Structure 1
Amino acid sequence: MNTESVNLDASHPLASGLTADSRLIRAYQGTRTDVTPVWFMRQAGRSLPEYRELRVGTRMLDACLDPEMASEITLQPVRRHHVDAGIFFSDIVVPLKLVGVDVEIVAGKGPVLGKAVRTATDVAELTSLDPATLDSALAPISQAVARTVAELGATPLIGFAGAPFTLAAYLVEGGPSKDHIHARTLMHAEPEAWARLMEWTANVTGRFLRAQVLAGASAAQLFDSWAGALSLADYAKYVAPASAAAIAHVRDLSYTERAYAEYRQDEAADTESVNRSVPIVHFGVGTGELLAAMHGIGADVVGVDYRIPLDEANRRLGGTVPLQGNVDPAMLAAPWPVLEAHVLDVLERGRTAPSHVLNLGHGVPPDTDPDVLTRLVDLVHEAGGAASGDTASGAAASVGSVAGVARG
C-alpha cells in the first residue's frame, strides 16, 4: 500500500465536512462529546421485521451484492433507532466470494466453504487467486455505499471487514468452528504456508475495506471474531502483522478539515485546517488479553466485548485509547430496570477513557425486541457524555419515565 497520504475526494462526507464534526467521528478521534454516540453491531438485519420482509426469497450473499437492497437494509436501523452511525450491511466473506472462492452462507450455520484449506498445497492453490481482481469486482459494494451515504446525510457510515485471522480460520476450518483447531495447527505446522495465507487474506479484506471508504464510509472497523482463540504470543507473531497490513489499505486515506474551536478549545482554531486520517476501529471477541496488541496494529479505537469492564480495558490500554462497547447482548432481553442499570454502568466506566462510543459487546441477537434498542438509544442520548454519574442517572430516570409512558 501507499506510504504517503492519499486525500479523499472533495465530495467524500469527511472531506466535505458533512460527517467530520459528527459525534461518532469526534469520539473516534478521542474527543469526549456532549452526548455519548451509540450504534450496535449487527443493528442492520435479522432483528428487524422490515429486514426479514425484504429478505424473503433472497439469499444472504445475493442481498449483499444487490446495491439497492444492501443500502436499504443498512438504512433501516438508522431510521428506526436514530443511532449515531450506520454500519454497512454486508458479510466478511463477500470479498472471498468475489475473488473466486467457493463459499456460501448457510442459514442457521454461517459461511461454509466448498473446500477446506488444510495443507501448503491448498494454500498455494487458494493464493493463486489474484486479489487485484477485486478492484473491479467490488463495484456493487461501492455502489451500495454511495447510495447509502447519499441517504444518510450527516450521519456517518462505518465500513467493515473481517480481520485476516478470522477469514483464514473460516478457510482452514471449512466453516464455523468452536476452537479453530485446524487453523491453529496450520499456523504452527506450516508457518510459511500460514504466512502466505495471512498475507493473501490481508490483501483481500483490506481491498474490501478500502473500497467502502473510498465510496463514502466515514470510518472503518476490522472485526476479528475468532482472535480470542489465540494466545498473546501467537497473536503477536502470526496474526498482528497481517491485521496491520489489512488496515494499511485504509491507513493512508486522509482528508483536510477546518479545526473547530468548540472542540479544540483553541481561539484560533476556526481559521486553521488540520489533516486527519479515516478513523479505524479494531474489535475482537474474547480478546481481553490481546487489547494492547490489537491497538498496536495501528487502530485508533479499540472495541471491547462484554467479558471485561471498560475501566479495566482502559487500564490495560494505558488510558489513552478511545473505546467502543460493551453492553452485554444478553441484557437486551432482561427487564428494563436491569438493562438500564447495566447501560448506565457501562457509560460510567466508559468515562474513564479519553472518549467512548457505546455499543454492544457483540452483535444484536436475532430475537431482540427492536423497541428495546430504540429505548436504549434514547437512554444513552439523554444521559449525556460528561463525566458525571449524577447527571447520567438523572437523565436516565427522566428517559425511563418518558419511555415508559410512550412505549408501555
Structure 2
Amino acid sequence: MDHKFPPLKNDLLLRAARGEPVERVPVWAMRQAGRYLPEFKATRAEHEFFKVCRTPELACEVTLQPLRRYDFDASIIFSDILVIPQALGMTVEMVPGKGPSFPEPLVTPEDMEKLDTKCKVAESLSYVYEAVTLTRMKIDGQCPLIGFAGAPWTLMSYMIEGGGTKTHSKAKKWLYCYPEASHKLLQLLADVIVDHLVLQICAGAQLVQLFESHAGILGPNLFYKFALPYIKYISVKVREALTAKEVEHVPMTIFAKDAHFALEELADSGYEVISLDWTIKPKHARSRCGENVTLQGNLDPCALYASKEEIGEFAKELVHSFGTKRWIANLGHGMYPDHDPEHLEAFIEAIHKYSQQPSDEL
C-alpha cells in the first residue's frame, strides 16, 4: 500500500482483535451505517441503494454519518455482500419493503454457465476500493475502517433462492442433489471473496469481516462439508496473498450466525475474531473458543427497544460476562430500521463506562 493515510488516533479495536491490553472495551455496531439514521434515510431518498454502494463519495458519506453521532471505536465501509454476485454477472435489485431480489436466480447447475467466471474483481468492484481509500482518508485516523464480504454459502443461497427465505430449501436442495456443482460454485465464490478482501485491505481496510449469515440453517453436517472448508480457505488464501504483495496482514473476523455447534472449529479456522449472535452465552462461548481468539458481540438487537436505563444494565451484564480482555462489544446482528438512534448511543456509552471500572465494582 502506498497510500499516505492519516495516523490512527484510536487503535482499541485492533489491539483487542490481536489480544493486546486495552484501556476500555472497543464497541461498534453491525449495520451502524444505514437505515435507522435520519441522515441515511435522507441520502436514500435521493439515491437508489446500489447507486450509493457504487458511488465512492456517497458510500464514504454514509460510512461517516454514524461517526459524527457516536463515539464508535470502528467504522465499517458502506457496501453490500451481494456486490460479488453482481460482479459475477447476476442482476441484483434492492426492492423497498422486501430486500434483495434476483430476477434470474440460479435454478440448475447449467445456469452457472451464465456466470462470468473470469471476472476481474479489481475492475468490476473498483468502486468499493475507491470508497475504502476515500473513507480512510476522510476518517482522519478517528478509528479503524473495517472491510467485509459475504461468505460462500450465504452468497450461494441468495443466488439460488433469489432473495430472502426462511427455509433455504432451494439452495439446500443443491447441496443434496448437486454436491459436485455446489462445491464448484462455492469454490468460485471463495476465490472471488479472497480477491475482494485482499483488495479492500490494499485500499486501506484495517480489519475485515466475513459474514456467513446463513450458517445456522445448514446444521452441523452440511456446515462442516459445505461452509467451514471455504471459511478456512479464505483465511489461508488472504494471508498468502497479502504476504505475496508484501502487505501487512490485518485481523480477520468470522461471523457465522447460529453456528453454535461449530464454535471450536471456528476458533481454529484462522480468524483472530469470532463474532457471536445473541443466542450464545458469553461465558459458554469463551469456554469453547479458548483464550487465543477475541470474541465479538452479542447484544440482542431487539434489546435496543428497551429503555436507556435497561440498555445500560444490559451493557453492564455483557461486560461482566465477557470481561474486558479479548472482547469487542457489538450487537448479535445488525441495527433494525426502527431503532431509536439515542438508544444505540446509550449502549455505546454504557460499554465504555463499565469496561473502565474494576471488575469488583460491576
Could you state the TM-score of these two structures normalised by the residue count of structure 2? Answer: 0.93
Partner of 2:139: 152
Instruction: Tell me how far 1:342 sits from its aligned partner.
Output: 1.1
Question: Structure 1, residues 196-229: CA drift from partner, whole Å, max 9, x if none?
Answer: 0101111222222222111101000001111111
Mapping of 1:23-34 within 5 angstroms?
23-34=12-23
Change (3 A) 1:59 1:326: same
Displacement of 1:123 after TM fit? 2.8
Q: Secondary structure at the match of 2:287?
A: helix
**Deviation string for 1:236-275 (max 9, x for gaps)?**
11111222233445323669xxxxxxxxxxxxxxxxxxx9
Q: Residues of 2 paired with 1:367 and 1:131: CA distance?
A: 41
Query: Is the 1:23–1:84 contact (alpha carbons within 8 Å) kept by the matching residues of 2?
Result: yes
In structure 1, how many angstroms separate the alpha carbons of the residues matched to 2:237 and 2:66?
28
Please give the secondary structure, in 2, of the residue aligned with 1:323.
strand
Which residue of 86, 91, 112 maps to 1:97? 86
Quote the offset at 1:160 in angstroms: 0.7
1:207 maps to 195
Q: 1:19, 1:25 within 8 Å by CA — same for their partners in 2?
A: no
User: Unpaired runs of 5+ in structure 2?
Assistant: none
- C-alpha contact 1:131 1:203 (8 A) present in aligned 2: no
Correspondence for 1:286? 258
**Under a length normalisation based on structure 1, what TM-score does the superposition of the two structures give?**
0.83
Residue 243 in 1 paired to residue 214 in 2? no
Q: Deviations over 1:44-78 (max 9, x none)?
A: 01011011111213111111001000000001101
RMSD of equivalent CA atoms: 2.1
Q: Tell me, in whole angstroms, the C-alpha distance in 2 between the residues paired with 1:20 and 1:231.
A: 42
Equivalent-residue separation in structure 2 for 1:291 and 1:385 (angstroms)? 28
Q: Name which of 348, 370, 379 aligns with 2:341.
A: 370
One-letter code aligned to 1:359: N
Residue number in structure 1 paired with 2:273: 301
CA shift, 1:90, in A, is 0.6
* Cα distance change on mapping 1:144 and 1:250 into 2, 3 Å: same
Query: What SS is found at the alignment partner of 1:56?
Result: helix
Matched-pair contact (CA < 8 Å) for 1:252–1:277: no
Out of 303, 318, 338, the position equivalent to 1:331 is 303
Contact in 2 for aligned 1:63/1:70 (Cα 8 Å) = yes
Q: Which amino acid aligns with 1:307?
A: T
Structure-2 change in CA distance of 1:385 and 1:29 (3 Å):
farther
The equivalent residue for 1:111 is 100
Residue identity opposite 1:72 in structure 2: E
Runs of 5+ unmatched residues, structure 1: 1-8, 256-274, 394-408
Distance in 1 separating the partners of 2:354 and 2:242? 32
Between Structure 1 and Structure 2, whose CA radius of gyration is higher?
1
Output the CA distance in 2 between the equivalents of 1:247 and 1:209: 10
Q: How many residues align structurally? A: 358
Please say if 1:170 is aligned against 2:158.
Answer: yes
In the TM superposition, residue 232 of structure 1 has moved relative to its aligned partner by 1.6
Tell me, yes or no, if the aligned pair for 1:306 and 1:362 is still in contact at 8 Å. yes
Residue 220, structure 1, aligned to residue 192, structure 2: no
CA offset digits 1:15-34 (Å, max 9, x no partner)? x8x34970000000012311
Q: Give, as a single letter, the amino acid of the residue that structure 2 aligns with 1:344.
A: K
